[in-house]
A and B are shown apart, each in its own frame.
Chain A
Amino acid sequence: MSDSNHKIVNRLLTALFVLLASACSLNYESNVESGNRDQILHLGNGDEPQELDPHITTGIPEFHIQHALFEGLVAKHPKTMAIEPGVAETWEVSEDLKRYTLHLRHDARWSNGDPIKAGDFVYSWKRALTPALGNLYAYMFYPIQNAQEYFEGKLDDFNLVGVHAPDEYTLVVDLKAPTPYFLQLLDHHSYFPVHPPTIEKFGAFGERGTRWTRPGNFIGNGPFTLKEWKLNRILIVEKSPTYWDAARVRLKEIHFYPIPNGSTEERMFRAGQLHITERVPLEKINVYKRENPAALSISPYLGTYFYRFNTTHKPLDDKRIRMALALSINREQIVERVTKGGQIPAYNFTPPDTNGYTPRARISYDIDRARALLAEAGYPEGRDFPALELIYNTDEGHRSVAIALQEMWKQALNINIRLSNNDWKVYLDRESHLDYELSRAGWIGDYLDPTNFLDLFVTNGGNNRTGWSNQRYDELLNQAGMTGDQTARYELLQEAEAILMEEVPVAPVYTYTRVRLIDPTVRGWEDNILDQHPYKYVHLEAAE
């Protein structure tokens, strides 16, 4: 072809080159750099928050945001999780441990400047217990006298519920039974106060989905207040000037990013767009251990990863079979080779040192005993053992653990397990209808008390989902619920835990950890077992 052809080719190539070059010459300051200068924390926060209303949400992303926007009657120390004053400055507990008298601080203010009154709490808790609102966490109020009866509609008069405001700055709470962990509940989002005039302005008292949580409408009482909320993009909170402890708050803003994908989040962290990630993809944990251990944070988390056995299903109705399965799980191997995130092998159900309680009863890793039990139950060397189905919800991590277990059971007991991947909602459906044989499960505690774990398996409990029932176990938990003395109470729970580990309706696998990437400039973000990080203690310090 001719020379002019060359010219066209050259012209087009030049145009392409210019386009690429101009795209690449852009220089930008990363979020971490600008954030460190301006005290703006950039945080990966999992999913888009469903809502910000503390009486409606249940998720962890929402919880992270609500802890910036609201404050309960008490708060927790960032490291020890010990109870600290919040809206309440002081409190007294009656001798029978059933009456709490809380004195609100006079300088506590809503973000519009209104003082926070004891009546606001009565209003808020009444709202949280209104069935029409659909508060999934209403049961958190059940320790309070008559709260359950009111919520279930057996009682119409809220005055009979054990919460009263004798004067503007005093709140009296009457409990059904001594509840040693009651103060902890006050820091849970379901107990957070809402601003009554704001609720009424945007809808009826018990109405769902009103616009009160939108920027501009929102009134809260936390160290931060809502500045911006762009669906699926970002949620920004800014320091609240009316917060009583504002002098302590050093961050100017926190930017919460909804990032459902772990790999995307990890790339954003590497590009300096996030200070803290919500998680670390499984395959990246070892890379960080090797190459950037300073950024990797692994801390124990109040949660147990376990498997449920459907005890109504043959042959799992035989506890020897369940025990054989539980005994042949090599938990050390699972945490070291499969999950790799510093998880702790679990040989009992309640995580160790849950508010001073460490279960004594434990199952072990004992293949010989497992084989003997299996033979005793009529399946020597796994002969004629029916192929059981194991269900798990779609997740690479769950799948890996399930494959490991499948292999361990095959090797130790010579039995076959079929794996069945289910999408989340189907998995929940099957588990709650006992339409499964083995099922992967997890439980994260809401507060530091062993009953938060052991309560799961009372007969017909909504979260039991194994069909297991034991009269003595129920009695023990019931007794513990009425015992105020912590030592005596923990003894009862130890006995219950022993029954659970003898009957094995569930096989614990490991205690969770929280694995995160944290930029070294973040200060005051302490590891703790509840994964709560009071933002008023956090600040950024750029390394010079």
Chain B
Amino acid sequence: MPAFILKRLLQALPVLLIVITASFFMVRLAPGDPFSQERALPVEVMKGLRTYYKLDQPLVTQYIEYLKNIAQGDFGPSFKYSGRTVTEIIGAGLPVTFELGAYALLIALLVGISSGVIASLRPNTWQDYVPMSLAMIGICLPSYVLGPLLVLIVGIWLEWLPVSGWGYIPGDKILPSVTMGFVYAAYISRLARGGMLEILSQDFIRTARAKGVSESMIVLRHALRGGMQPVISFMGPALAGLLGGSFVVETIFQIPGLGRYYVQAAFNRDYTLILGMTIFFAVLIVVFNLLADIVAAWMNPRLRSGKSAGG
């Protein structure tokens, strides 16, 4: 197993290098200057800024310098937020994004699995149609519609919950978590229903019933484990999506997470911040894939030595 992990880690390095190199040159090729603004800049200021951020050096020198710096964990200062380092900005947004992702995941699993299981137990009755129709709406309804809708109903009309912020007023974390979790809940619900229906029709369930095992025992002890397989395989991409932050949800609810910075950094041509974010997300994805591979290998020893399932 350690050899397997080591090998996968070594494979990840060239991937990261390619990501860094491509992003480094691409952001510099994009038209527009990081320092330009409505008011014209005096030549002296432009020169001063370019020297300060070392943009006056040849591109290759900049690139080598950058690689050296990130090898030491230094992502440099942000171009736009002059007093802050990229590490500091990511560090400030990360806990928020992860917390939001975790709550959303919890909601998604709780709501998704329970409604899926209910639906599968009473197929083609209202207990099936209602949650499945809701799930269909959930899949179709983008969060930029659902978010403001929830704010309007629960926050402004009913005045039950705060409409923005993160940890300022008790309860302000609920609406964003629900908004973000709902789409995933919808997927999970449908996957859970499908998985359960398939398992419930199998022989061993019929045998258990024939033996007089109680229905709740059948569902909880026998059917769930198998029925949840499709949900578990969906968790990989879902986790990456949830923990990567969401520009839309963060904007609607005024949440200081990472998703917003990524987009703003690109618009601002904040080279160091774009690169820092890209590298961070690349590492995140590599790590998640590795974890997924490890789990897969743990479940299926044949994969350990030979070809792995994903990259």
Contact = CB atoms under 8 A, between A and B. Distances in A.
Contact of A26 (B38, B110, B161): B161
B287 interface: no
Given A28-B170, A134-B52, A429-B32, A151 B44 contact: yes
B254 A264 contact: yes
Contacts of B174: 23, 26
B155 interface: yes
A446 B60 CA distance: 41
A4 B209 CA distance: 12
B163 A267 contact: yes
Contacts of A138: 42, 44-45
Given A264-B252, A428-B38, A429-B32, A134 B83 contact: no
Contact of B39 (A19, A48, A136, A231): A136
Contacts of A214: 83
Given A131-B48, A423-B32, A1 B82 contact: no
A232 B92 CA distance: 9
A4 B122 CA distance: 12
B36 A428 contact: yes
Given A261-B251, A429-B31, A432-B40, A132 B261 contact: no
Contact of A28 (B38, B148, B171): B171
A139 B83 contact: no
A442 B148 CA distance: 31
Given A13-B118, A462-B40, A271 B162 contact: yes
Contacts of A24: 154, 158, 160-161
A154 to B, nearest CB: 10
B89 A231 contact: yes
Interface in A492-537: none
Interface stretch (B10-18, B135-143, B214-222, B234-242): B214-222
Contact of B256 (A13, A233, A271): A233
Contacts of B114: 12, 15-16
Interface in B102-156: 110-111, 114, 117-118, 121-122, 127, 148, 151-152, 154-156
A136 B88 CA distance: 25
A131 B41 CA distance: 12
Interface string A227-270: 00011111000000000000000000000010111011001101
Given A8-B215, A210-B83, A462-B42, A261 B252 contact: yes
A405 to B, nearest CB: 20
A449 to B, nearest CB: 16
Interface in B44-81: 44-45, 47-49, 52, 77, 80-81
Nearest to A428: B36
Interface in B217-275: 219, 251-254, 256, 260-261, 264, 267-269
B84 interface: yes
24 contacts: A8-B118, A28-B169, A28-B171, A50-B80, A50-B82, A135-B45, A138-B42, A138-B45, A139-B42, A209-B83, A209-B84, A232-B92, A233-B256, A261-B252, A267-B163, A271-B151, A271-B164, A273-B164, A423-B32, A423-B267, A425-B30, A425-B32, A428-B33, A428-B37
